[in-house]
Amino acid sequence: MTKSYLKMVMELVSLLGGAENINFVTHCATRLRIDIKDSKLVHKDKIAELESVANISETEGKYHIVTDQDKLDGVFSELEKTLEQKH
């Protein structure tokens, strides 16, 4: 993956409260879906300010992050690799 995906993923993981605060990650055609352990550690407003984030919503500890569709697969792939290394 490119450095731009890695940079975004590292920022995203940090703003989500760290890798240890993430239960699991999946995605659909338009968004990342992230299950969080402790929502109090998430900086939702700062995630919304990230360059590739179009929208973020949360329901019961599950975050949906809409990102550029052309980058979604790359971001998801890099996020999975990053979380595997941290766990």
Q: Which is catalytic among the residues 28, 29, 45, 84?
A: 28
For residue 86, CA distances in Å to 14, 19, 25, 71 come to 12, 6, 14, 22
- Enumerate the β-bridge partners of residue 26: 33
28 is catalytic: yes
Report CA Rg, the chain: 11
Chain-centre distance for alpha carbon 9: 7
- How many C-beta atoms surround the C-beta of residue 85 within 10 A? 8
Catalytic residue ranges: 28
